[in-house]
Amino acid sequence: MAVIDLRSDTVTEPTDEMREAMARAKVGDDVLGEDPTVRELETLAAEMLGKERGLFVPSGTMANLVAVMSHTQRGDEVLVEAEAHTYYYEVGSISAVAGVMPRPIPGRLGYIAPDQIRDAVRPPNVHFPIPRLLCLENTHNRAGGIPFSAQEMDAACVTAHEAGLAVHVDGARIFNAAVALGVPAGQLVRSADSVMFCVSKGLSAPVGSVLLGGTDFIELARRFRKMVGGGMRQAGVIAAAGVVALRTMVARLADDHANARRLAEGVARIPPLAVDLSRVRTNMVLVTINGPLTAPEVIERLKREGVLALPTGASTIRMVTHRHISGQNIDHALDAIRRTVATMATIR
């Protein structure tokens, strides 16, 4: 039985072109700043995102951590959306390692609006930590892959800057946002101080993320990357796949978005499952189960039918489309979901 893996776009494997580029990559010691392929990836990424410099790091989690460490001092306050990956899924690293105080702000479908930023930033007072940084996420994972426009991003950044905060963007899937909105990715982060994106998700490279920002910021981030053990040596071997990812994998994300829509529209017609179709804007589908079935039960049953998905709550399931999911796979997945729900309804 062919498995249809909708757990995440992180499961994508390198293309043949990536594997060839990896085999041929010119390498050097990147801790000494001598790996030409890492340099190439960092430079290309900086050009595409409109920032001065880039820093290749092993993961999105490390990119966010190193960004927070570079923007803050221990004890500072960091405004972060309450469902943001940095707050929800990164093992508490910004507290445990960076030593900052996260201030979770429930956003509107993942977006922290300017008025919320103004309300959250408290005037200087001996009792309060110093507010130093705002973290935004685009696309927003737990909101269902929602992209935020350049105007929305600018508005949040301007307000944060007026309040004396720097802005870091977790843009793990910033290219999904750019493709969905039909704008260059750089536009979405033009007002932000730093941004990270992952080559290891929908872009199909096997490993890595790039953190981008101004020259001084990246120099500091390079030190923190070393501190947390992210200094890699002949990392050109993996950066080579990232270069191919940026050159060849961005435009095709539109196919993943079309497949997500097709999946969402199908699932929305399978009660007791429901999908808010207005939220399906990129490559994610959040499925709500109305009724007694739990997400883990449905996921377990789907697995027996060869369809993999992840729970995002007791009665919510996330399905993610990516390069290994075809339109035909979507139709097969929908058949499997229909069968699963029908069987489970008779068991109850």
Of residues 8 and 315, the one with the C-beta less far from ligand TLP: 8
SS3 61: helix
SS3 280: coil
When asked if residue 10 is in the footprint of ligand TLP (CB under 6 A), the reply is yes
CB 78 → ligand TLP: shortest distance, Å? 15
Contacting ligand TLP within 81-100 (CB under 6 A)? 85, 89
CA distance 25 to 28: 10
When CB distances to ligand TLP are compared, the closest residue is 60
In 3D, which of 198, 196, 190, 193 has the Cα closest to residue 214? 193
CB 196 → ligand TLP: shortest distance, Å? 8
In 3D, which of 253, 241, 85 has the Cα closest to residue 168? 85
Contacting ligand TLP within 308-347 (CB under 6 A)? none
Which residues does residue 313 pair with via DSSP β-bridges, in sequence order? Answer: 316
Which positions ≥6 away from 7 have C-beta within 8 Å?
308, 309, 310, 320
Of residues 200 and 282, the one with the C-beta less far from ligand TLP: 200
CA distance 129 to 151: 30
**Mask of contacts with ligand TLP, 137-176, x by CB under 6 A?**
x---x----------------------------x-x----
When asked if residue 282 is in the footprint of ligand TLP (CB under 6 A), the reply is no
CA distance 249 to 256: 11
CB 170 → ligand TLP: shortest distance, Å? 5
CB 312 → ligand TLP: shortest distance, Å? 9
Of residues 98 and 341, the one with the C-beta less far from ligand TLP: 98
CA 82 to chain centre: 15
The strands making up 209-213's β-sheet, listed across from edge to edge, are 53-57, 209-213, 194-198, 166-170, 131-137, 77-81, 101-105
When asked if residue 60 is in the footprint of ligand TLP (CB under 6 A), the reply is yes
CB 217 → ligand TLP: shortest distance, Å? 19
When asked if residue 185 is in the footprint of ligand TLP (CB under 6 A), the reply is no
Residue 98 · residue 65 · CB < 8 Å: yes
CB 91 → ligand TLP: shortest distance, Å? 10
> Quick one: which of 4, 5, 6, 8 contacts ligand TLP (CB under 6 A)?
8
Choices 21-29, 54-62, 149-157, 298-306 (CB under 6 A): range interacting with ligand TLP: 54-62
Of residues 137 and 256, the one with the C-beta less far from ligand TLP: 137
- Classify residue 325 as left (phi > 0), alpha (psi -120 to 50) or beta: beta
Of residues 200 and 329, the one with the C-beta less far from ligand TLP: 200
Contacting ligand TLP within 193-222 (CB under 6 A)? 198, 200, 209
Q: How many CA atoms lie within 13 A of 8 on its CB side?
A: 11
Of residues 40 and 137, the one with the C-beta less far from ligand TLP: 137
Which positions ≥6 away from 270 have C-beta within 8 Å?
334, 337, 338, 341
CB 268 → ligand TLP: shortest distance, Å? 22
- Positions touching ligand TLP (CB under 6 A) are 8, 10, 59-61, 85, 89, 137, 141, 170, 172, 198, 200, 209
